[in-house]
Structure 1
């Protein structure tokens, strides 16, 4: 990737973070319109996007944000309230900024103008209602009656500032936008004509500024050049303010930024490759993925070394153990780098709920908890779509209209709760609503109508709820832009299964529904229990293993069938993996049962031998094996052979089906 492309990509990443800050601030302002801190946060985000956009050659972005900022500045100065109409217009303008950054060639300029008109109308509509607050738009002399603090601002840019894309005229224009200003060029450092370097900045500027804005607002003007520039910002006393005969300050015309692709290419390499945010380093995701792959290969190599060292030289065994310890620590550190707080995902849904609330006419509040819960970055990326579908369904189908809620004794506004927490080596993410709950009879009737179940089928409430995830299933009476086509929940199930997770539903009629997603912490390396069945070796994710017991002699004597095992006065069904794997070799005399669980479901797996724990580097199965539901992947063992990873969710489903069949046979026999 060229330096220009790298610099552009860095700008897009930083702008994406700033747009996220802007969106969150606007959504908070919808609920707290008088919060000055939120207004300042939104304004700072706009200001930074404008400055960096001009620096990196995104002139359309800088121009649009400048007009956006101008309209929003009236709110910042307390001249207009932050109305719901203004927030709605600002959110749409924010979306247009993203479009200008991501697809500048496809951006609709006419749409941008209409958004700016809507912004101005939202502001001016409020101003018209309070004409006494309307300020005089024309700039006055710095010594005039305009209230505020007087400042002397002197700055000299670094010698390479112009080459790096800085535009001093834009900075002067931004200073003028803060209040009234007089600008004087400082030429004392300009060398003779024959010694001037045309690419260097020799000029300096002195600005006498009167503004109501704090010192921090002045400092923000120089945010991108402060490292190399000499900047002095000092308050002025009354005696230092120029006399009344001083000429009026004239606005400084905005000039397109001098940042050209060639100039951007010359930015310092340290800035072009990484961004520093709060003491952290921004690293490309592809590099983390590559690092994780290398660590996985190292884990496999270490397992092979440990196997070769068994029963060998003592010195080799010691080295193998030391390398094993280091590899384990490196694995944990690398996985820790990939972990992100799930709060970064939860924040995205505030905008979704804001828009759904307006579209459906249902007041909705989002309540989140457990935002600090960490999950692999890949999991977070792939979890976004399922959560969108779940939230949309909760708002559309779960929450009643305000009138119905009042009639049921509930508040008019509904509540959607997003909660995350650790449970062993899993993360549980729950989407809850306080709506009407699920109607099991209606779901069953709809499934019967669509031919998904037989009329004589006897289903538990949990099994009826799982019908919601069948392809094409929907209880909506009519198709809308929100739901009704029966594809959303099917997408949720397929995605969660691909992530080796599970879904649980709990519903309370008239009170609401909880949908819980059970997810592994990572998709790359897991701790597994290595077992042998016949001549084959298999891995069971250790997070799903409860305990291991010996198969009773009476059960071992049986050659087949489905049975129950008494584990401390609790009946646990179990499956014989030998039968599932069609093993022809004789069974071991002392077979073991591995008890696995997920949620409230438990199942025993009968194996010939338990070989021990194993650091499992997960390898995906080929497309030819996509229909094999019993396995979720494979791993390479220390001796170079392959062990298949058992899919716990699928095995539990098989066990549940076997148990239901056994119950049906028992009822028929009775």
Structure 2
């Protein structure tokens, strides 16, 4: 049995909490008066502090205490939330993460400076803070001599590890309590589910404590309960049956919001002062709809994917052996195993799929900090967060997107003064979007800045000796110099740009992921960079072909159609590599010539029309064998200079087949098409 390290468990859970806290703080910077966000930030800090103390992270608990108390003051209305508090809280979040991940490397002076800055901000919004730390202002005495508290938990709360009796004991700590339980919903013993909580309570609390103190008792279970807190002098007599956990379909009673109308006893009249509802669940969010999750190490998922890949290869070998024989029973078993292997492959791929929102959320902080450092107000908009990709793709995509977003803010978005001169909003806009296109995902970074300065890029390329002065180049070709190693149009070197190590890294990374980059710009209106990426790098559907004696794989996602290369097509081409497909000229490559295949070509050659983006190219092959589930194996370092192939796979007979890199072949086809056109133009 594997024993989990409690400290590691805390680190994993704290990482999730800190990610959530960053999102909350960034949202709070936009809407400082949002009470739900303030409460959520307080709960996250409270949990980190309490859990840190429990697991021995005393420095984390001590540092978090001041910020927890500050947000307690904010939610009680003692001070106002503002962007300065959000900024220092984000710095505190980073420091807390370092304290958890690598406490020995943290500098206590940095932590002290962050706390001092918080004290300064708090001092400006309330009374002076004692030197020992921030202490909440004393609570005013409650107007009521006590409280009536109506409690009903969702049935599944026991399965989540919550003990309602412990919460009732916490209420007793606030003052003398009279607790009455209703067992009306508890069934007979033979129908009883011991894991369902079917008891509700009405508590009479004789205490001058505040409502906030009562709500704090149920802070961590608000999403899984109904709670109504009413002053005793306004409460109606206790009337069972107890609180109804179902959401009413009819109109709420006067003085109560719809989610809490069902909590009032049926015989009670609505009080003049509304009851305090503590349900914080989002509309329509029910415990029954929450899918249970299990935290699994990424290495185990990778190992599972490797095993599935080996199973797919073994299944292909079995199918080939079965179809070469005449035993019907073996063929039936092979078909069943093929069906099961395909289902297991899809399920495993689904487990590895991660929403793009998990990646997009990281860049909100990046935009926030760059906007502040450069003095350029920027709105960051994300679209398509629900789009899913393989977790490996998500991880490798992070660095390229950082470069693209930094470039968009630093080079693309103009200063507020310059934007006002061109009748633009003073606030720039960057949109990060993801969407499916066939078996690919398109990730786009778009800004509304000044666009690319083509003349400046060309001048820099000439200065660096990349092109001859006066050379005839299209705008698209000039823009491609941005991806050249060491190329930069920045006039000065800064912490953000000027060294020319950004866009070339983006291109290399995207090409290593078997993706392509499209760059478009409109002068004065902005630029757009689109990354076209496969869903996964593990297993793909491919088209198995033969060229000479060799067999190759073409990713099926890049294949548009297959047609026959007839003698008439050959005659019309007149030696040039163009094919007319429904009135459109499509350049084609003869893979026999490209691969220097030996022997005579097949009499009836086939053309596989492939596309990358808006560019189409035909690949002439000897034979199309059929579809093939392709387990991608990386090529060795000895083959790193072979650009026409992106990997290899194992076929059913145990032999290897190379996987064609369609993007590289499309580029080669464009070059040859231009060379074919040049004599004609002359």
Class of the TM-score when normalised by the shorter of the 2 chains: 0.7 to 0.9
1:231-266 C-alpha deviation (Å, 9 max, x unpaired) = x999885799xxxxxxxxxxxxxxxxxxxxxxxxxx
Secondary structure of 2:218's counterpart equals helix
Q: Deviation of residue 460 (structure 1)?
A: 2.0
| 1:411-426 aligned within 5 A | 411-426=425-440
Q: Identify the match of residue 628 of structure 1 among 638, 642, 647.
A: 642
TM-superposed CA distance for 1:453, in Å, is 2.1
**Distance (Å, rounded) in 2 between the aligned partners of 1:567 and 1:559:** 12
* Superposition map of 1:517-596 within 5 A: 517-553=531-567, 563-596=577-610
1:608-619 superposed matches below 5 A? 608-619=622-633
Question: By how many angstroms is 1:348 displaced?
Answer: 1.0
- Alignment partner, residue 680 of structure 2: 666
User: For the Cα contact (< 8 Å) 1:89–1:122, is it kept in 2?
Assistant: no
SS of the equivalent of 1:634 reads strand
The CA distance in 1 between the partners of 2:143 and 2:507, in whole Å, is 61
Inter-partner Cα distance in structure 2 for 1:610 and 1:652: 19
Aligned partner of 2:241 in structure 1 is none
SS in 2 for 1:10: helix
Deviation at 1:459, TM superposition (A): 2.1
Question: Normalized against structure 1, the TM-score is what?
Answer: 0.81
| CA deviations over 1:136-168 (Å, ceiling 9, x no partner) | 96757xxx7356895799xxxxxxxxxxxxxxx
Are 2:368 and 1:372 equivalent residues in the alignment? no
Normalising by structure 2, report the TM-score: 0.79
Q: Distance in 2 between matches of 1:121 and 1:148?
A: 36
Which residue of 2 is the match for residue 247 of structure 1?
none
* Distance (whole Å) between structure 2 residues aligned to residue 471 and residue 73 of structure 1: 51
Query: Cα deviations across residues 424-467 of structure 1 (Å, max 9, x unaligned)?
Result: 00000000000111122211111111112233532222222221
Q: For residues 512-570 of structure 1, what are the alpha-carbon distances to aligned partners after superposition, in whole Å with 9 as ceiling and x for unaligned?
A: 11100000000100000000001110000000000011112156589997511100000
Distance in 2, matches of 1:665 and 1:358, equals: 55
1:607 paired residue number:
621
- CA deviation string 1:633-652 (max 9, x = no partner): 00000000000000011111
Pairwise CA distance, 1:9: 2.3
Contact 1:619 1:634 survives alignment (8 Å) = yes
Distance 2:63 2:208 in 1: 25
Find the partner of 1:145 among 138, 141, 144.
141
What is residue 314 of structure 2 aligned with on the other side?
301
Structure 2: distance between partners of 1:411 and 1:569: 46
Q: 1:175 to 1:3 in 2, by over 3 A?
A: farther
Q: Give the match's secondary structure for 1:127.
A: coil
Q: Give yes or no for contact 2:141–2:209 (8 Å, CA) kept in 1.
A: no
Cα distance in 2 between the residues matched to 1:482 and 1:77? 41
Q: What root-mean-square deviation, in Å, do the aligned CA atoms of Structure 1 and Structure 2 show?
A: 3.4
| 2:97 corresponding residue in structure 1 | 98
What's the counterpart of residue 273 of structure 2? none
Partner residue, 2:257: none
| 1:597 paired residue among 602, 611, 615 | 611
What number of residue pairs does the alignment pair up? 582
Q: Secondary structure at the match of 2:209?
A: strand
Rounded Cα–Cα distance in structure 2 between residues aligned with 1:27 and 1:21 = 10
Distance verdict in 2 for CA 1:222–1:347, change over 3 Å: closer
- After superposition, the C-alpha distances for 1:74-105 in whole angstroms (9 at most, x for unaligned) are 11111111111111111100100010011011
Classify the secondary structure of the residue corresponding to 2:561: strand
- 1:22: how far off? 0.8
Separation in structure 2 between the aligned mates of residue 665 and residue 29 of structure 1, nearest angstrom: 63
Which residue in the other structure is 2:304 paired with? 291
Q: Who is 1:3 aligned against?
A: 3
Partner SS for 2:216: helix
3-state SS of paired residue (2:333): helix
Change (3 A) 1:477 1:444: same
Decide whether the 8 Å contact of 1:74 with 1:80 is kept in 2. yes
Q: 1:221 to 1:432 in 2, by over 3 A?
A: closer
Classify the secondary structure of the residue corresponding to 1:328: helix
User: How far has the Cα of 1:113 moved from its partner?
Assistant: 1.4
Q: Which residue of 2 aligns with 1:39?
A: 38
Residue equivalent to 2:65: 66
Question: Which secondary structure state, in structure 2, belongs to the residue aligned with residue 659 of structure 1?
Answer: helix
Distance 2:610 2:306 in 1: 29
- Tell me how far apart the structure 1 counterparts of residues 331 and 623 of structure 2 sit (CA, whole Å): 25
Residue 661 of structure 1 deviates from its aligned partner by 2.4
Residue 59 of structure 1: CA displacement?
A: 1.3
In the alignment, is the contact (CA less than 8 A) between 1:148 and 1:210 conserved in 2? no
Q: Could you say which residue in structure 1 is the equivalent of 2:187? A: none
2:526: which partner in 1?
512
Secondary structure in structure 2 of the residue aligned to 1:213? helix
The answer for the alignment partner of 2:507 in structure 1 is 493
SS, match of residue 330 in structure 1: helix
Contact 1:147-1:212 within 8 A present in 2 as well: no
Q: Comparing both chains, which one has the higher relative contact order based on Cα–Cα distances under 8 Å and sequence gaps of 6 or more?
A: 1
